Structure 1
């Protein structure tokens, strides 16, 4: 956490308030990110790919299906440090988004949405990353 505090210019108090808010509002994320035994709590994230934003306003609910459309080529992907990560897949000119999440009662661990051409697929991908679609 020291590195994050220094990089963001946070005071120790600001860091503690941010951690408290994270634990209160996003306890599942706090478990992944905040390790009381570790001084640099953010090291669990490899920081090599984008993180999807938290939902903004009323995000568009995409229709997700657990049936796999087969093997696609991964074009883009989000970081795997959270409970849910996404991949933009190409199937010979048709694009889909794959959602991989921790097992929960109401959500399959792997599901797919889409069936778009490239421009529309990238627009939906942007919406997922920005928190405008889920």
Structure 2
């Protein structure tokens, strides 16, 4: 079971939170979002954090989308497109703090 960050004290946030990366985590390669590409979001982490993630599907392949907010700036990146079995392993590793 992935380690989750504690929920805010007001209990208004009920989503999955990505833990702090573990020591020796594997960095992922991120590319800029492909504008205009349609994707279906299959899973996501809570967007109450400055950085949140979505597991997306497009054209039979899955990928992780990362959204980072800093002030008024929003930057969206995408990971490699993978077959479902590979993508689910990567998503699980993200939720366990093993990749970032």
Pairwise TM-score range, normalised by the shorter structure: 0.7 to 0.9
3-state DSSP of counterpart to 1:51? coil
**Relative contact order (alpha carbons < 8 A, sep ≥ 6): 1 or 2 greater?**
2
Superposed CA offset, 1:5-62 (max 9, x none): xxxxxxxxxxxxxxxxxxxxxxxxxxxx8xxxxxxx6227521x21111101111100
Write out the 4+ residue segments of structure 1 that deviate beyond 6 Å after TM superposition: none
Are 2:19 and 1:57 equivalent residues in the alignment? no
The structure with the largest helix share of the pair is 1
The number of residues matched between the two structures is 91
2:84 aligned partner:
118
The gaps in structure 1 that reach 5 residues or longer are 1-32, 34-40
Q: Which residue of 1 aligns with 2:58?
A: 91
Max radius of gyration: which structure?
1
| Equivalent pair of 2:50/2:70 in contact (CA under 8 Å) | no
TM-score, scaled to structure 1: 0.62
> Is 1:44–1:81's contact at 8 Å kept on the other side of the alignment?
no
Structure-2-length-normalised TM-score = 0.81
Aligned-pair RMSD on alpha carbons?
A: 2.0
Q: Secondary structure at the match of 2:49?
A: coil
- What are structure 2's unaligned runs of at least 5 residues? 1-6
